Each structure stands twice: as C-alpha cells, then as structure tokens.
Amino acid sequence: MESTAARTAPAVIVAIDGPSGTGKSSTSRAVAAQLGLSYLDTGAQYRAITWWMVTNGIDLTDPSSIAAAAGKPDIVSGTDPGAPTITVDGTDVAGPIRTQEVTSKVSAVSAVPEVRARITGLQRSIASAAGRGIVVEGRDIGTTVLPDADLKVFLTASAEARAARRSAEIKGADVAATREALIKRDTADSTRKVSPLAKAADAVEVDTSDLTLQQVVECVVTLVEEKRAAK
C-alpha cells in the first residue's frame, strides 16, 4: 500500500538491470508499487517488436530487414506496477510475447542498432513523463537508456538459481536445458556491439541467489529511500 510519504516524496528514477532469472521483474514491480512509482518492463518492449516481426514474416536472419521494419509497429506500454500492459498496434500482446518462439528470437532482433534506437527512444520518453518517478528494468538502463538515473541496481544470481526459478515459472521445463538457454542468451546480450548487458560503474550490485523476493525488495526499497532522503 502506498503511503502518504510516498505520495509527497521527490520524484526518483530507478534503473534495475541484470540477466534473465535474477528477479528483475518481480522486484521492480513490487518496489514501484510499494513506493508509488510507475514501472516499465523494457524487455517486454523488445519482445513486442520481435513478436510483430515474427507475425509479419520479417526475415530475422537478415539485420537489414529487421532495421527496415523497426519503425513500423506502434508499441504502447502501460506503467501501472499492479497491472502493466503492452500493446502492439492496439492489440494486447502480454501473452503472445512470452512464447518460446519469441524468447528464442528476441536477442537477434534487439541486437540491431535501429531496433535499439527505436525502443530506447520510447523508454526515455516514458521515463521523462513519469511524474512521481519510475522503476525501469532491463539490461542497459543504467548504462545507456538512463545513465543519469538517481539509483542504479544490478541484480545477479548463479546460473543454477536462475534456471531453477525459470523452470518453476514454466511448468514442466527442464532445468538443465533452461540453464543452457539462459547462458546462451547472457552471452548474446553481453557481447552485442550496441548497448550490451553490463553493470554500470555506479550501480549497486545485489546477488539474489540466496535471497527471497521479499528480501531483495526490502534491500532495493531501502536504497531508493536513501536516495530520496538525499534529494
């Protein structure tokens, strides 16, 4: 429940980065809800543009075809942490963007500079319009999208812990196969030429391997409150 103090506190922009399975989304939504901030899942935006390209038959093995189509879909992100939404050309794609087909192709699409430029522009406009502040989660928020964020947090966790979490989310998923898929995506995201997954020099690193979600949320909330108090 949002407190009176949260409603009157100074606006704060929080960047939460890290690889898949570290608890970014759950942590970011909970922190935003607790502190009365907006919330943006930037990964959903990259999944949305990937879904659009798959649906429209774009050749995802050809970066030039991806680049040419980058500006076509209309992507709109709802920023209520209690019920975040994502639409493409007016269609609710919250479910379709989580399919394995999209998951397997999002790294290739998001590596294309024109795609990153398009989505980064959307992210910055959303952040700047968030009156009381926002929690933005992704992979390059603190380093590229919002380098002047008030607080930068980089979540990490062991590959084993991350694979176990993802397998629990996807019933029946093989933990070993999930672990390999996570490592493969980490490599792709960390080595791409444009805005790779990386920890910002001034980010606070939090290893979530042995922490409960509530412990991680409490840690980040404390960091945000400290930043607010210093404003």
Instruction: Determine phi and psi for 138, rounding to 5 degrees.
Output: 180, -140
How do strand 38-41 and strand 133-138 relate by DSSP bridges? parallel
The Cα–Cα gap between 156 and 208 comes to 6
**Residue 130: predicted pLDDT:** 94
How do strand 91-92 and strand 85-88 relate by DSSP bridges? antiparallel
pLDDT at 71 over 60: yes
Query: At 58, is the secondary structure helix, strand, or coil?
Result: coil
Q: What band does 185 get if pLDDT is binned at 50, 70 and 90? A: confident
Alpha-carbon distances, residue 4 vs 9, 66, 80, 99 (angstroms): 9, 46, 18, 40
What spatial distance separates the first Cα and last Cα of the chain, rounded to whole Å?
A: 23
The Cα–Cα gap between 219 and 213 comes to 10
Element (H, E) at 135: strand 133-138
Q: What band does 7 get if pLDDT is binned at 50, 70 and 90? A: low
Closest CA to 48 of 73, 69, 65: 73
**Residue 15: predicted pLDDT:** 98
Q: Are the C-beta atoms of residues 112 and 188 closer than 8 Å to each other?
A: no
Q: Give the rounded percent of residues in the chain with a pLDDT score beyond 70.
A: 96
Element (H, E) at 167: helix 159-169
**Residue 79: predicted pLDDT:** 97
- 154 residue type, one letter: F
Average pLDDT over all residues of the chain = 92
The Cα–Cα gap between 77 and 129 comes to 13
Instruction: Determine phi and psi for 139, rounding to 5 degrees.
Output: -125, -20
**Residue 62: predicted pLDDT:** 97
The Cα–Cα gap between 192 and 149 comes to 23
pLDDT at 221 over 60: yes
Whole-prediction pTM = 0.88
**Residue 6: predicted pLDDT:** 53
The Cα–Cα gap between 203 and 166 comes to 25
The Cα–Cα gap between 14 and 135 comes to 5
Q: Which domains does the chain carry?
A: 16-221 (3.40.50.300)
pLDDT at 125 over 90: yes
Q: Which of 3-7, 45-49, 158-162, 179-183 has the highest mean pLDDT?
A: 45-49
The average pLDDT across 10-23 equals: 92
**Residue 215: predicted pLDDT:** 97
Instruction: Determine phi and psi for 19, rounding to 5 degrees.
Output: -75, 175
**Residue 136: predicted pLDDT:** 98
Alpha-carbon distances, residue 160 vs 5, 27, 64, 129, 225 (angstroms): 39, 19, 36, 38, 31
